[in-house]
């Protein structure tokens, strides 16, 4: 059986299909090579199938020869002399069939190997030819690409140089134009600077002249006051001496005084109590009217007749009034009568009436706030001038600590802002029927701090940016900008903020609505918040909890809750 061993092929169709080749940059088409290899694999597979069929037939013949099937009649008929002959012929036939099968299998295997080798050699030759052609085509394509790239590079260089030259020319033209504009602007600035220096010198000369005039006027007024005081003393002493030298005269009785005087009936007028003016306004109370004292011979009675008020304020006011009247008479003009305060227009709409009530509730505390902040600004200016007197350069290093400076404005504005917030609470109670609540200084801490920080930071920034050499001039210039309408606008915005804060605090737990001012066109943020309702303390669409939304905003928040 060892001589009848079945031979196997050297190539497997799967190995042929999975055969891989080393790749080069440019070679044969991989798809064509793969198709050829698959065709070879199919032919090899067919040959392997035929070989397996032949081997199966051989195995079947060998099995039948090794295990013959003999029935009973055949076995009985075959017993005897022919048994050996049959066995030999069977063995011979089996050997012949086996030899033929082996020969046929070897022939098939050889043919298959030869055809596979031939196909493989043919495929390798085709692959070699395709690779050679592909390399030639790749070299030609590469050469063409290099030539095209060189042409493009040359074209790009030429275009780039052209663009660079054009850009340089444009840049030179722009630089020339900029230099011309710069020279023109510098010349204009030099002319304006020279004119400003001339105007500054003239203003300084006018200031010096005005200062000298004011100094001389102050000296003249002081001399006049000294003369008036001395004349008052002399007249008082002369009157006292004349009264002392006058002989005593008996005072007439009331009946004697009324005897020769015709009288007419006078209706009795009820007495009206006169209120004492508030000390906060700074006005002096009127002096009590002295009753007429009859002249007597005693020196004590005569001395009680003389006014002993040492104050010279009325005298000074009278002197300036006379000087003003004399100046107007010299110019041929008459003194302008004082203007009457214009009455506010009566609102014609419910919204106008609402804002009129708001302004009426806020005006008193707002006026107090403006007055106190202005006074704090003046005090702060005096303190700052004392600190930087005769100092040159930047005055910031010699000022008080910023927190100390803020505290002046915060302490001046706190009480007035608390009153404004309390007015807002009362306004919410009257308009919306919400419960009242007490306002504390802690509620206004943020509002007061913002006011103080805004003023102090702006003042210090203005002093640092000023170009004056003297520190006192920087200080005066900075405070001069804040002395008028600017501080009034800031105080007005802060007062309205405190007022509406009081409205929101009193309306906690209730809805409030945003109402635009009828006198001013609303900005975009105010128009976004208009007629919207939020729970008190929540932000409106613009992000603000209550007005003012911007500087100068006159809008308001009103409680929605109706009166019970």
Measured distance CA(459)–CA(399) in Å, rounded: 11
Measured distance CA(538)–CA(511) in Å, rounded: 10
Note the pLDDT of residue 419: 93
pLDDT digits (tens, 9 = 90+) for 454-488: 998 888 888 877 666 677 788 888 888 887 788 89
Domain edge (last residue) among 159, 180, 208: 208
User: What are the two backbone dihedrals, phi and then psi, of residue 82, each rounded to the nearest 5 degrees?
Assistant: -80, -5
Tell me, yes or no, whether 313 lies in a domain. Answer: no
Burial environment of residue 344 by CB neighbours within 10 A (0 to 12, 13 to 18, 19 or more): exposed
Tell me, yes or no, whether 549 lies in a domain. Answer: yes
Other beta carbons within 10 angstroms of residue 556's beta carbon come to 27
Element holding 559 (H helix, E strand):
strand 556-559
Measured distance CA(221)–CA(312) in Å, rounded: 12
For the stretch 528-543, what's the b/e string if a residue is b when 16 or more beta carbons lie within 10 angstroms of its beta carbon?
Answer: bbeeeebebeeebebe
Tell me, yes or no, whether 496 lies in a domain. Answer: yes
Note the pLDDT of residue 308: 38
Tell me, yes or no, whether 257 lies in a domain. Answer: no
Residues of the chain with pLDDT under 50: 1-9, 261, 263-264, 266-313, 338-344, 563-564
Note the pLDDT of residue 288: 39
Domain edge (last residue) among 186, 208, 230: 208
Beta bridge partners of 556: 515
User: Strands of 556-559's sheet, edge to edge?
Assistant: 533-535, 511-515, 556-559
Note the pLDDT of residue 384: 84
Measured distance CA(547)–CA(526) in Å, rounded: 9
- List all residues 6 or more positions away from 299 whose beta carbon is below 8 Å from its beta carbon: 240, 243, 244
Measured distance CA(294)–CA(302) in Å, rounded: 9
Question: What total of structural domains would you count in the chain?
Answer: 2
Tell me, yes or no, whether 54 lies in a domain. Answer: yes
Q: How far is CA 268 from the centre of its chain?
A: 72
Q: What are the residue ranges of helices labelled H in 254-345? A: 254-259, 299-303, 313-331
Are the C-beta atoms of residues 506 and 434 closer than 8 Å to each other? yes
Q: What is the largest CA-CA distance in the chain?
A: 214
Are the C-beta atoms of residues 388 and 415 closer than 8 Å to each other? no
Measured distance CA(502)–CA(559) in Å, rounded: 11
Could you tell me the CA-to-CA distances from 501 to 437, 452, 490, 506 in Å, in that order? Answer: 12, 18, 16, 9
Q: Which domain does 433 fall in, by range? A: 351-559
User: What are the two backbone dihedrals, phi and then psi, of residue 333, each rounded to the nearest 5 degrees?
Assistant: -115, 160
Q: At what angle do helices 485-506 and 471-482 cross, to 10 degrees?
A: 50
Note the pLDDT of residue 120: 85
DSSP string for 305-316: TS------HHHH
Other beta carbons within 10 angstroms of residue 385's beta carbon come to 15
Beta bridge partners of 557: 514
Note the pLDDT of residue 343: 44
Q: What are the residue ranges of helices labelled H in 466-547? A: 471-482, 485-506, 524-529
Structure tokens at 464: 């640092």
Are the C-beta atoms of residues 354 and 558 closer than 8 Å to each other? yes
Mapped onto helix, strand or coil, the DSSP state of residue 533 is strand
Q: What is the pTM of this model?
A: 0.42
Note the pLDDT of residue 498: 92
Domain edge (last residue) among 164, 180, 208: 208
Measured distance CA(508)–CA(484) in Å, rounded: 37
Measured distance CA(296)–CA(247) in Å, rounded: 9
Residue with tokens 């010349």: 187
What's the chain's length in residues?
Answer: 564
Tell me, yes or no, whether 173 lies in a domain. Answer: yes
Note the pLDDT of residue 270: 46
Measured distance CA(147)–CA(155) in Å, rounded: 12
């Amino acid at each position: 059986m060892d001589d009848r061993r079945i031979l196997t092929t050297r190539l497997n169709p799967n190995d042929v299909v999975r055969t891989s080749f080393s790749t080069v940059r440019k070679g044969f088409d991989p798809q064509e090579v793969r198709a050829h290899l698959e065709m070879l694999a199919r032919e090899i597979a067919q040959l392997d199938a035929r070989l397996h069929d032949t081997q199966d037939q051989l195995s079947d013949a060998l099995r039948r020869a090794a295990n013959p099937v003999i029935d009973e009649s055949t076995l009985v008929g075959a017993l005897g002399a022919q048994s050996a002959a049959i066995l030999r012929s069977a063995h011979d036939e089996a050997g012949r069939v086996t030899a033929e099968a082996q020969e046929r299998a070897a022939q098939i295997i050889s043919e298959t190997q030869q055809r596979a080798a031939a196909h493989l050699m043919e495929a390798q030759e085709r692959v070699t030819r395709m690779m050679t052609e592909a390399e030639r085509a790749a070299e030609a394509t590469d050469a063409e690409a290099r030539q095209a790239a060189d042409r493009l590079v040359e074209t790009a260089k030429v275009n780039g140089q052209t663009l660079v030259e054009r850009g340089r020319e444009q840049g030179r033209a722009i630089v020339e134009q900029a230099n011309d504009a710069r020279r023109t602007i510098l010349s204009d600035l030099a002319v304006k600077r020279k004119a400003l220096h001339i105007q500054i010198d003239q203003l300084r000369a006018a200031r010096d002249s005005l200062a000298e005039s004011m100094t001389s006027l102050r000296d003249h007024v002081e001399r006049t006051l000294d003369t008036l005081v001395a004349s008052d003393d002399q007249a008082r002493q002369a009157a006292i001496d004349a009264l002392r030298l006058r002989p005593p005269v008996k005072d007439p009785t009331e009946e004697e005084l009324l005897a020769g005087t015709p009288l007419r009936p006078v209706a009795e007028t009820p007495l009206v109590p006169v209120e004492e003016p508030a000390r906060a306004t700074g006005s002096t109370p009127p002096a009590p009217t002295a009753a007429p004292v009859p002249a007597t011979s005693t020196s004590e009675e005569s001395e009680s007749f003389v006014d002993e008020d040492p104050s010279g304020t009325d005298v000074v006011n009278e002197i300036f009034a006379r000087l003003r009247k004399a100046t107007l008479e010299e110019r041929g003009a008459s003194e302008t009568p004082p203007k009457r305060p214009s009455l506010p227009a009566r609102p014609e709409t419910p919204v106008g009436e609402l804002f009129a009530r708001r302004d009426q509730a806020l005006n008193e505390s707002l006026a107090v706030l403006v007055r106190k902040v202005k006074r704090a600004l003046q005090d702060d200016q005096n303190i700052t001038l004392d600190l930087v007197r005769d100092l040159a350069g930047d005055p910031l290093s010699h000022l008080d600590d910023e927190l100390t400076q803020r505290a002046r404005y915060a302490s001046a504005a706190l009480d007035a802002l608390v009153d404004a917030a309390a007015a807002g609470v009362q306004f919410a109670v009257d308009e919306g029927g919400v419960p009242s609540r007490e306002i504390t200084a802690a509620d206004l801490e943020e509002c007061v701090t913002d006011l103080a920080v805004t003023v102090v930071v702006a003042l210090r920034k203005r002093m640092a940016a000023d170009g004056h050499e003297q520190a006192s001039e920087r200080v005066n210039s900075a405070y001069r900008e804040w002395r008028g309408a600017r501080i009034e606008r800031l105080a007005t915005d802060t007062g309205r903020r405190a007022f509406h804060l009081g409205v929101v605090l009193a309306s906690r737990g209730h809805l409030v609505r945003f109402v635009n001012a009828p006198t001013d066109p609303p900005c975009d943020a105010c128009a976004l918040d208009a007629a919207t309702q939020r729970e008190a303390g929540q932000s409106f669409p613009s992000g603000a909890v209550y007005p003012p939304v911007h500087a100068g905003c006159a809008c308001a928040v009103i409680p929605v809750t109706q009166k019970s």
